[in-house]
C-alpha cells in the first residue's frame, strides 16, 4: 500500500512538471517562406491578419532611454490620471522607486481614480509588503498573477512577463523595464541597467489597454470597460502601429511567428537588441537565410555584466552558425543590457517584454508594440548604433577559441534551452 501511494504521488508530480514545461499547443515546425519585403504593403497586411490586432494609423511615440527618463515620464502620467490607471509588471521590488510608484498609485486612488495593478507572483516576490499595504489601504486593486494554489499548480511555469501601463485609456507605456532600483539612473555603471521604454498616444493605446485586460480577466474574472477605460481616441500623430500579446493559454506561437515573419521580410538590415538571446533552430535558420540574401544582421547582447550566467552560456553555445554566416554579435560593456528591440530595414520597430528565447516565445505571457514608421525606425537605429559603440564585437575566431571549460558550461546550459 505505501508503494502504491508513492507511485501515485510521483505520477502526480510528473504530470504537473509535464504540464508546466510544455505549452500543449502545436509549434511552428517549418521555416516561414519569404513572400515579401518589409517595404511591401503585403507585409503589413500579413502582420495585421496573422498576429490578430489590426495596424492602426494616427499614433505618436516617444522612445525613453534608461530610468532617468523612463520613470519620470511614467510617474508624471500616473500623477496626472483623472479616471483610470491600469498597470501590469513582471518585476516589482523593494527599492525607493518601488515606494515612489506605490505612493503615486495610492494618491490617485485616494483621489477617486480607479487603479488596477497586476503583478506577477514570482517577479514581485521581493516587493516590500508595506508598498502593497499602502496601495491596498488607498483602494488600489492589486492582484498577483498565478499565485500558487492547488488547482493551478500546472500553470506555475507560466508567468506574465508583460510590462504595460495605461493612463485614462489615452496614454500607454511599454518596453523592458521593471520597477526596481537596477533600472534607475542612466546606465552609468553596473548597478544601473541599460533599457528602453516607449510612450504611446493615439488609437493603438486601446490595444494596449486590451492587452492589460486580457490578464486582468484571467486574474479576477472582472471585465473593465466603458469610456473611462476605452475612450474615443483621435489621431495623435502620423505613425502606424499594433499592440499584440501571446500566452500559453492561447496563441503562444504568435510572438514567435511575429519574429519569424519580420526577419524573413528583411531585405537590407536587421538590428536586434536582446537581453536574453537563445535562438531556437527556426530563428537561427531565419537569420542565416537573411544573411545569405545579403541582409546585414547586427545583434547586441549583454557582456560581462549579464544578470543570468546560465542564459548567457546557453546563448553563446548557439552563436556558431550565425557568426559563420556573417552575423555581427556584440556584447554591451558598461552594464547589464536589458533592451528588447527589433528593427527591420529601418522601417519597422518592435519593442516590449519579449526576449529572443523559448521562454518568451512559448512559456510566458508577453506583449510587444510594433511600429511601422520609417522616421521613427531610423531614430531607433541611431540609438542602436550608440549602444553598438559601447559594445565589443565577438569574432568567429574568438568564439571558436574559447576555453574547453567554457564550452562545457555552454553545452550543459544549452540542454535547458527550452526553459530559458
Q: Active-site residue numbers?
A: 161, 163, 168, 338, 340, 345
What is the distance between the alpha carbons of residues 55 and 370, in angstroms, rounded to a whole number? 9
Contact status, residue 176 vs residue 275, Cβ threshold 8 Å: yes
What is the distance between the alpha carbons of residues 297 and 322, in angstroms, rounded to a whole number? 9
Q: How many CA atoms lie within 13 A of 49 on its CB side?
A: 6
Q: How far is CA 313 from CA 165, 300, 318, 406, in A?
A: 33, 15, 9, 8
CA 171 to chain centre: 19
Q: What are phi and psi of 317, to 5 degrees?
A: -65, -20
Question: Within a 10 A sphere around the Cβ of 390, how many other Cβ atoms?
Answer: 16
Contacts of 382 (CB under 8 A, 6+ apart): none
CA 139 to chain centre: 29
Q: What are phi and psi of 241, to 5 degrees?
A: -165, 165
Question: Within a 10 A sphere around the Cβ of 57, how many other Cβ atoms?
Answer: 15
End-to-end Cα distance, the chain? 39
Contact status, residue 353 vs residue 90, Cβ threshold 8 Å: yes
Contacts of 410 (CB under 8 A, 6+ apart): 313, 314, 316, 317
Give per-residue burial for 83-106: e unless 16+ CB within 10 Å, then b: bbbbbbbbbbbbbebbebbbebbb
What is the distance between the alpha carbons of residues 57 and 60, in angstroms, rounded to a whole number? 9
Helix or strand holding residue 288 (H, E): helix 281-292
Following CA atoms 9, 11, 17, 21 in sequence, which dihedral angle do they give, to the nearest 10 degrees?
-170
Q: What are phi and psi of 61, to 5 degrees?
A: -130, 150
Amino acid at each position: 500500500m505505501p508503494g502504491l501511494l508513492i507511485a501515485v504521488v510521483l505520477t502526480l508530480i510528473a504530470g504537473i512538471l509535464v504540464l508546466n514545461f510544455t505549452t500543449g499547443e502545436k509549434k511552428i515546425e517549418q521555416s516561414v517562406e519569404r513572400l515579401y519585403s518589409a517595404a511591401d504593403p503585403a507585409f503589413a497586411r500579413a502582420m495585421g491578419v496573422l498576429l490578430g490586432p489590426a495596424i492602426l494609423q494616427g499614433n505618436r511615440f516617444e522612445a525613453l532611454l534608461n530610468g532617468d527618463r523612463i520613470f519620470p515620464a511614467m510617474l508624471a502620467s500616473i500623477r496626472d490620471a483623472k479616471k483610470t490607471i491600469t498597470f501590469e509588471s513582471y518585476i516589482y521590488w523593494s527599492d525607493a522607486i518601488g515606494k515612489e510608484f506605490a505612493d503615486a498609485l495610492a494618491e490617485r486612488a485616494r483621489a477617486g481614480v480607479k487603479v488596477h495593478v497586476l503583478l506577477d507572483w514570482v517577479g514581485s516576490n521581493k516587493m516590500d509588503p508595506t508598498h502593497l499595504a499602502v496601495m491596498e489601504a488607498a483602494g488600489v486593486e492589486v492582484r498577483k498573477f498565478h499565485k500558487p494554489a492547488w488547482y493551478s499548480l500546472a500553470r506555475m511555469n507560466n508567468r506574465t512577463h508583460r510590462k504595460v501601463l495605461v493612463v485614462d485609456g489615452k496614454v500607454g507605456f511599454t518596453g523592458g523595464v521593471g520597477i526596481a532600483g537596477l533600472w534607475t539612473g542612466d546606465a552609468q555603471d553596473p548597478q544601473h541597467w541599460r533599457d528602453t521604454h516607449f510612450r504611446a498616444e493615439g488609437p493603438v493605446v486601446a490595444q494596449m489597454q486590451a492587452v492589460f485586460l486580457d490578464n486582468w480577466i484571467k486574474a479576477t474574472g472582472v471585465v473593465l470597460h466603458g469610456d473611462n477605460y476605452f475612450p474615443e481616441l483621435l489621431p495623435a500623430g502620423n505613425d502606424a502601429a499594433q499592440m499584440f500579446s501571446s500566452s500559453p493559454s492561447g496563441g503562444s506561437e504568435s510572438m514567435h511567428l511575429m519574429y519569424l515573419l519580420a526577419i524573413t521580410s528583411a531585405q537590407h538590415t536587421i538590428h536586434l537588441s536582446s537581453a536574453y538571446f537563445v535562438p531556437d533552430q527556426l530563428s537561427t535558420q531565419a537569420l542565416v537565410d537573411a544573411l545569405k540574401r545579403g541582409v546585414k544582421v547586427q545583434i547586441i547582447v549583454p557582456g560581462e555584466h549579464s544578470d543570468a550566467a546560465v542564459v548567457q552560456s546557453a546563448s553563446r553555445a548557439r552563436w556558431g552558425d550565425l557568426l559563420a554566416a556573417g552575423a555581427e554579435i556584440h556584447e554591451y560593456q558598461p552594464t547589464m543590457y536589458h533592451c528588447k528591440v527589433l528593427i527591420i530595414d529601418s522601417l519597422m520597430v518592435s519593442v516590449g517584454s519579449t526576449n529572443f528565447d523559448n521562454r518568451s516565445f512559448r512559456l510566458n505571457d508577453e506583449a510587444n508594440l510594433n511600429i511601422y514608421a520609417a522616421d521613427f525606425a531610423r531614430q531607433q537605429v541611431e540609438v542602436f548604433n550608440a549602444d553598438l559603440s559601447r559594445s565589443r564585437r565577438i569574432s568567429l575566431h574568438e568564439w571558436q577559441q574559447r576555453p574547453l571549460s567554457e564550452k562545457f558550461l555552454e553545452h550543459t546550459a544549452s540542454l535547458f534551452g527550452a526553459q530559458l
